Structure 1
Amino acid sequence: MKQLYFILTIFVACISYGQSNIKGIVTDGYQPVAGATVSLEIPNYITATDGDGAYLLEDVPAGNHTLTISYIGFKTVTKQLSVTPGKELTVITTLKEDDKALEEVVITGTMKEVSRSDSPIPVEIITPKLFRKNPTASLFEAVGMINGVMPQLNCNVCNTGDIHINGMEGPYTMILIDGMPIVSALSTVYGLSGIPNSIVERIEVVKGPASSLYGSEAMGGLINVITKSPSKAPTVSADYFFTSWGELSADAAVKINAGKASSLLGINYFNYNVKADKNNDNFTDVTQQNRISIFNKWSFERKENRLASIAARYVYEDRWGGEMQWTKQFRGSDSIYGESIYTKRAELIGLYQLPFTEKIFTQFSYNWHNQNSWYGTTPYMATQQVGFLQTYWDKQFGENHTFLLGAALRYTRYDDNTPATASADGTENRPQNTPLPGIFVQDEWTLNDKHKLLGGYRFDYDRNHGGVHSPRVAYKFSPDVQNTFRASFGTGFRVVNLFTEDHAALTGARQVVITESLKPERSYNGNLNYVWKFPAKPFILNLDVTAFYSYFTNKIVGDFDTDPTKIIYANLNGHAISQGISVNTDLQFNFPLKLMAGISYIDVFRIENTLGESQRIQQLHAPKWSGNFIATYSLPNNYSVDVTGNWYGPMRLPIQPNDYRPEYSPWYCTANIQFTKKMDYGLEIYCGFKNIFDFVPRYSLMRPFDPFNKDADNPVSNPNGYTFDTAYNYASLQGRRVFLGMRYNLGI
């Protein structure tokens, strides 16, 4: 027995002598990083850093090993280590921020992956890391953190909105999901309202016409929501918060691996069911909402790394706003006013790289949108289906030419209960069926390391309007790594599709009138962009300046002024102009403070020719001055503070004759502050205040006591002839509110 004990002791000692421990600390240069994944290339040697950024890998076999350290938002670090038997190894690692704002790979500008700094088309980016600094329940609100992009509420009762880029209205903004024009016309506002934040990789914004690649509706700019690849997404992620106003937002995603396929399932739920009337007009300040969105994306491993993915999304929303006494039994009645919208929406998106030597891709999408709405006593029942198919060939010719050739077909079927889909005599329903085939070509020519030239052309054919030509040219000059100049010119067009939800939302108070057969709109745009990167010892400064000019013909204009009870639509007899300049700055200090700020000057107006005279009319809801700001300061022990906000100058609003409300809104600012504590293993707790200055518009609804205009014609009680109006709106009626939330990310 003593001999056996001696042999076992010697055996254990030999094993112990052939092993060692690896310990270390992970920081970001200022403070410990908790929850970072630390692993070796051999199985079962994986751990995570604790709250002090420390980790320990025990009983590591002797020899050469590869240590990998990764954390979301930072660049992955790999180190080659030599483990000596019986000797503990200590490793200190500093992670560098994966600065998406500087070298992010973008695809929207040219329909192919290039680094942002190499793209001849200026592309602005918002990442989940950025919009987590001000948690929102939808991407519709989150894109407001981009300078020059304004989520605009158009109705004080139902809170319907659209997204303005450089002051242009929502119909001029195209919204893509993974490069597919899945969101358009009727469903624009819902495209960003129900996407789970947890499945978003980044959002890319191109300002100015992009019809040469994306066709109709990309007149003022486009927003492309890039979803995460299932293979690269966190295993589990979640974000939950609620506010003192009673809003509740829950967002979660999980990754599932199944052989050569991987899946990302995301769910978003938002609920607001607290009636608030802080301005005492007997109307809800914010619509009551109940929304759920489910998203599922699959990607597949294929030979030679060819791409294949498919994704689906379903959205259901029930929202209403109106008099405080309103319940669903009054839906459509003329006794108690309410605006109620039921929405059902389904989407399918796919990408498949053909099994050829050449890089040929096929993309497809389909969406079905059903809306059941009542605006007071005015019903709006609509169904829209959009199918899209696109195939393109990506070819490299030599070292200097990157060529793109493609064909696309979009088919839209639209039906509603308005005159838009009725016969001339109104006796027969005639849904709109709109095929829109197109072909496009693009060549990106690298002249040398400093000069790059891009040319593109697209031809679309509409059976009602004929052929539409959309050329584009762009030039980039980079004399050195610190300076980049870009110049571009492009055209855009929009096929007539007037009856969208943002117009119908106003019909509760105004009648829509079309005075002529509308023609497709055209735009011509020029951009000049300059980027300066200035690295210094105490800080790193990035400056991005863009000047733009857009000229519109056949612009479809809504006349709010001629008759306060109507919106009269017609093609403009004249032209419209959007011009301005925007400046973005990014300042990173050598201590844990980062500042981002932007300012835009935008002048949007139209020149209207009437009876031989020209009249200059300022665009509604387009402030000349606007800006944003973001400040982040990291504190010891994994605490951080984020201050974010937007400010706007006066914007013209729709008023009635002899209106007591001012025609222009005041200067105002909405600011937010958030405090965050990073816990162990990817857990974060955050809280803060939204709208800390408690700004709300002074004026909102006109004659809320008579929403059905039953007494509007009474000259004694209403000498000025005012009518109930919901369109005088420029900011949310929500005041200051507290929020508290939790985030969680588990591994990659």
Structure 2
Amino acid sequence: MRIRFFLITVIMTLTVFVANAQHTIRIIVQDKTNKELLSGVTISLKGDDQKVTSTDGKGFATLKNLPGGYDTIVVSYVGYKPLEQVFQLPDTIVHSILLETDARTLNDVVVVASTRGNDRIENATTKVEVLGQEDMNEESTLKPGNIASILGDVSGVQIQQSSATTGNANVRIQGLDGRYTQILRDGMPLYGGYSGGFGILSIPPLDLKQVELIKGSSSTLYGGGAIGGLVNMISRKPTSAPEASFLVNQTSLKETNINAYYAQRWKKVGFTFFGGQTFQKEVDVNKDGFSDVPNTNSTVIHPTVFFYPSDRSFISLGWSGSFEKRLGGDMLALSGKADASHPYFEKNNLNRNIITLLSESRLDNSFVLTVKGSFSNFKREESTNTYLFNGRQKNYYAELSIFKRTRKHNIVAGINTTGDEFAPAEETPVPVGSFSNNVLGAFLQDTWRLFSGTKLETGLRLDHHNQYGNFLLPRIALFQQINKHWGARAGYGMGYITPNPLTPQTRDYTIYQLQPIAAGVKAERSYSGNLEVNYKTEIGTDGSILINQAFFITQIKDPVIGTEDQAGMVYFNNEAKPLLTKGFDTYVQMHVANWEFYVGYTYTQAIRQYLPENQFVLYTPKNRAAATLVYDVAGNWRVGLEASYNGYQHREDYSKTPEYLFMAMMAEKKFGPKWSLVLNCENLLDERQSRHESLYTGPVTDPYFKTLWGPIDGRAVNLCLRFQPFARN
């Protein structure tokens, strides 16, 4: 009896053990059409959000700790139709899953700027507008030399040219000056201070995967400088299939562009290469004797090498060189006929060298370690008929961060250090002298999935500046998915920016006018809030519409304002009362069959509360709108129309500028998958500031150029030929 009882006990124990055994499913995921291995695919057990994993660099994933019997696995990936498959466990087979592309979600965008967790754009806690790969490819045939034009197509973003002779420009968001916008490349600040005005002019769209724009404060991950907003440019990465694009572009404004891109990845190594050349002759559009488009010779080279030590890690090492000569001024002086009556010119020789390092290791499917750093050396030689200046600026950035995904939390934590150093050449001393800024920061951000459809994101950053002390920056954001169609966001954040006499201004001053920051001038601090609601639904079988309505407000305490005295010297001091900007932003995106449509409107009320009257911020339109309409004809033709409206702005004398409408039209003819020809016309209505007023005052020998509030280069037509040798239907 004892032996029988013992055997029965053992059998029952084994039965219970087997019934509760934990099993494993192994899966390889591929694209159904081209059999490409897909990494980052989400695989989960249906009905249990604790059982989730993702595929590695070879498309392989293991889902562990599963109970026995029949279970349903859900496979989902951006741009593909979700798939459910039933498995019987235990199971020892490596299953092959083929995902089919989904036209309705193929254009869904994944963002990394706000969370670093690759969230879908409509589910992110922070409002992010993304110009994706298709936008970059299209813009590379319309304005191949830089991305300034496409950024200006987004409502609420104003690209303001600050110099008529050099073409300098800065990015203004939500009515704030360009110094309140942080410009990043792959999450690293490379363009600021002395080099900031030429930053966006030297980045060709063909070299980018996508551009992410955050309107409003985003200080936790990237520092306090993102007060008005953030622009993060994401570089392209190689894929297993070779990718190449070559284009030649010619414009009616005497500009020629030649750009080339090539990328490929093998098992353990890969690379990307971009090379671009721009030749621009000087053009006097309004026939006033001065160039409205400077003579420009620009070369950009950007090779990057990628190493893949394992399926879960990669290292990239890149160098970017930008070499540019710009010459503007009196047309007679530029043609070599300078004399006492026509002496004025301004010449800039620019050299920018950037080295970047990025390393990412997935220690498991939910833990990522990232190390990245950059070093930039910018040198500018500036000469006019009255002065000469040589100077350089060095920028550095280094960061160590971790990303941890749990059932309820996405946690980002890290430390970084950033700094810049400006130094004039010994033979050309200037009033600001040499100076440097160094910041050491630590940050922590948690995106907490409170309930189904509810995310709460909290962040805290602590920075120590070598001159201005410590800054504690809290941030909180909430996203609520109300139902299948409706969602809402709300957020609050703080930021800061330290005084720098060389940050871009509304108009350019000479380096000899700028005075050093006086003792006692404090850093600017900001307090920003936003509230928004969005609606998204499908239209038919292959269409969708997204409507977003957002409200924003930002207050900047102790704003640092530059004031020009009677001698022309510019001094910087804090104002006693704050700068305030508030308003709302509305946009609609729609895709139906072969049609794509976007319209956006931004109302901005920017107020200088430190003034007793005329408190409006100069050269800031209250009303701004932008719209695009694109039609794809059976994959052979693509035509588009875009327009932007700018309401009146206030000049220095408080008079109002005219409002104006900027329009453009393009047509693309595709000759199979490899060749295409694009005809584009910018500024169809030939809107120019010079149609309403002279661009300068004073004598021809010593002109004083007015602040720019509108385009000055007039109508332009360009024809671009593109060849993609590895493209497929």
Give the TM-score category using the shorter length: 0.7 to 0.9
Provide the residue aligned with 1:199 in structure 2.
207
Provide the residue aligned with 2:646 in structure 1.
648
Find 1:676's aligned residue among 668, 672, 681. Answer: 668
Distance 1:419 1:586, change over 3 A: farther
In the alignment, structure 1 residue 389 sits paired with structure 2 residue 398: yes
Please say if residues 332 and 379 of structure 1, whose CA atoms lie closer than 8 Å, have aligned partners that are also in contact. no
1:194 aligned partner, one-letter code: S
Find 1:324's aligned residue among 311, 317, 331. Answer: 331
Please say if residues 224 and 473 of structure 2, whose CA atoms lie closer than 8 Å, have aligned partners that are also in contact. no
Please say if residues 33 and 100 of structure 2, whose CA atoms lie closer than 8 Å, have aligned partners that are also in contact. no
Alignment deviations for residues 200-234 of structure 1 (CA, whole Å, 9 cap, x no partner): 11000111112222114212111000011122675
Instruction: Output aligned runs, 1:70-89, within 5 Å.
Output: none
Provide the residue aligned with 2:697 in structure 1.
703
In the alignment, structure 1 residue 559 sits paired with structure 2 residue 563: yes
In the alignment, structure 1 residue 310 sits paired with structure 2 residue 301: no
In the alignment, structure 1 residue 497 sits paired with structure 2 residue 500: yes
Aligned counterparts of 2:494 and 2:526: Cα–Cα separation in 1: 5
Provide the residue aligned with 2:283 in structure 1.
276
* Secondary structure class of the residue paired with 1:621: coil
Aligned counterparts of 2:234 and 2:591: Cα–Cα separation in 1: 26
In the alignment, structure 1 residue 734 sits paired with structure 2 residue 691: no
Give, in angstroms, the shift of residue 133 of structure 1: 4.8
* Secondary structure class of the residue paired with 1:347: strand
Alignment deviations for residues 464-522 of structure 1 (CA, whole Å, 9 cap, x no partner): 21111111000011111211100000011112222246589322896668676432111
Find 1:544's aligned residue among 541, 548, 573. Answer: 548
Provide the residue aligned with 1:244 in structure 2.
252
Provide the residue aligned with 1:254 in structure 2.
262
Aligned counterparts of 1:465 and 1:581: Cα–Cα separation in 2: 33
Please say if residues 80 and 100 of structure 2, whose CA atoms lie closer than 8 Å, have aligned partners that are also in contact. no
1:668 aligned partner, one-letter code: Y
Please say if residues 154 and 727 of structure 1, whose CA atoms lie closer than 8 Å, have aligned partners that are also in contact. no
2:447 aligned partner, one-letter code: E
Aligned counterparts of 1:264 and 1:582: Cα–Cα separation in 2: 37
Give, in angstroms, the shift of residue 663 of structure 1: 2.6
Alignment deviations for residues 372-427 of structure 1 (CA, whole Å, 9 cap, x no partner): 11355243422111111111121234x112212111111321112699987xxx7x
* Secondary structure class of the residue paired with 1:747: coil
CA RMSD of aligned residues (A): 3.2
2:154 aligned partner, one-letter code: I
Distance 1:508 1:310, change over 3 A: closer
Aligned counterparts of 2:230 and 2:177: Cα–Cα separation in 1: 12
> Relative to structure 2, which stretch is displaced further, 375-384 or 490-499?
375-384
Provide the residue aligned with 1:600 in structure 2.
602
Q: TM-score, normalised on structure 2?
A: 0.80
Aligned counterparts of 2:246 and 2:626: Cα–Cα separation in 1: 27
* Secondary structure class of the residue paired with 1:212: coil
Aligned counterparts of 1:285 and 1:321: Cα–Cα separation in 2: 8
Aligned counterparts of 1:676 and 1:355: Cα–Cα separation in 2: 42
> Which residues of structure 1 form unaligned runs of 5+?
1-35, 43-73, 80-92, 656-661, 709-723
Give, in angstroms, the shift of residue 449 of structure 1: 1.2
> Relative to structure 2, which stretch is displaced further, 107-116 or 298-307?
298-307
Provide the residue aligned with 1:109 in structure 2.
114
Please say if residues 687 and 739 of structure 1, whose CA atoms lie closer than 8 Å, have aligned partners that are also in contact. yes
Provide the residue aligned with 1:67 in structure 2.
none
Find 1:747's aligned residue among 704, 721, 726. Answer: 726
Distance 1:623 1:700, change over 3 A: same
Give, in angstroms, the shift of residue 583 of structure 1: 0.6
Aligned counterparts of 2:325 and 2:693: Cα–Cα separation in 1: 27
Provide the residue aligned with 2:182 in structure 1.
174
> Which residues of structure 2 form unaligned runs of 5+?
1-30, 38-77, 84-98
2:131 aligned partner, one-letter code: I
Find 1:154's aligned residue among 149, 162, 168. Answer: 162
Give, in angstroms, the shift of residue 744 of structure 1: 2.5
Distance 1:349 1:482, change over 3 A: same
Instruction: Output aligned runs, 1:27-106, within 5 Å.
Output: 96-97=102-103, 103-106=108-111
Provide the residue aligned with 1:658 in structure 2.
none
* Secondary structure class of the residue paired with 1:117: helix
Distance 1:354 1:678, change over 3 A: closer
Aligned counterparts of 2:660 and 2:372: Cα–Cα separation in 1: 43
Instruction: Output aligned runs, 1:299-448, within 5 Å.
Output: 299-327=306-334, 336-353=343-360, 358-397=367-406, 399-416=407-424, 431-448=434-451
Provide the residue aligned with 1:17 in structure 2.
none
Give, in angstroms, the shift of residue 99 of structure 1: 5.3
Give, in angstroms, the shift of residue 304 of structure 1: 4.0
Provide the residue aligned with 2:5 in structure 1.
none
Q: Highest relative contact order (Cα 8 Å, sep 6+), 1 or 2?
A: 1
Distance 1:323 1:254, change over 3 A: same
Find 2:677's aligned residue among 685, 688, 696. Answer: 685
Provide the residue aligned with 1:58 in structure 2.
none
Distance 1:529 1:375, change over 3 A: farther
Please say if residues 451 and 477 of structure 1, whose CA atoms lie closer than 8 Å, have aligned partners that are also in contact. yes
Distance 1:259 1:330, change over 3 A: farther
Aligned counterparts of 2:440 and 2:615: Cα–Cα separation in 1: 36
Alignment deviations for residues 91-130 of structure 1 (CA, whole Å, 9 cap, x no partner): xx997547576x3111101233222122111111012422
Provide the residue aligned with 1:89 in structure 2.
none
Alignment deviations for residues 337-391 of structure 1 (CA, whole Å, 9 cap, x no partner): 1111110001111111358565321111111100111355243422111111111
Aligned counterparts of 2:416 and 2:447: Cα–Cα separation in 1: 20
Give, in angstroms, the shift of residue 728 of structure 1: 2.2
2:333 aligned partner, one-letter code: W
2:693 aligned partner, one-letter code: Y
Aligned counterparts of 1:342 and 1:330: Cα–Cα separation in 2: 21
Aligned counterparts of 1:637 and 1:400: Cα–Cα separation in 2: 43
Give, in angstroms, the shift of residue 599 of structure 1: 0.6
Give, in angstroms, the shift of residue 303 of structure 1: 2.0
Distance 1:232 1:558, change over 3 A: farther
Aligned counterparts of 2:425 and 2:657: Cα–Cα separation in 1: 35
Aligned counterparts of 1:331 and 1:193: Cα–Cα separation in 2: 28
* Secondary structure class of the residue paired with 2:317: strand
Please say if residues 149 and 165 of structure 1, whose CA atoms lie closer than 8 Å, have aligned partners that are also in contact. yes
Provide the residue aligned with 1:53 in structure 2.
none
Q: TM-score, normalised on structure 1?
A: 0.79
> Relative to structure 2, which stretch is displaced further, 352-361 or 437-446?
352-361
* Secondary structure class of the residue paired with 2:200: helix
Aligned counterparts of 2:439 and 2:409: Cα–Cα separation in 1: 29
* Secondary structure class of the residue paired with 2:609: strand
Distance 1:700 1:507, change over 3 A: farther
In the alignment, structure 1 residue 487 sits paired with structure 2 residue 487: no
Aligned length: 634
* Secondary structure class of the residue paired with 1:281: coil
Give, in angstroms, the shift of residue 307 of structure 1: 2.9
Provide the residue aligned with 1:520 in structure 2.
523
**What's the % identity of the aligned pairs?**
21
Provide the residue aligned with 1:287 in structure 2.
294
Aligned counterparts of 1:325 and 1:264: Cα–Cα separation in 2: 43
1:569 aligned partner, one-letter code: F
2:716 aligned partner, one-letter code: R
1:487 aligned partner, one-letter code: A
Give, in angstroms, the shift of residue 279 of structure 1: 1.9
Aligned counterparts of 1:258 and 1:331: Cα–Cα separation in 2: 56
Please say if residues 331 and 338 of structure 1, whose CA atoms lie closer than 8 Å, have aligned partners that are also in contact. no
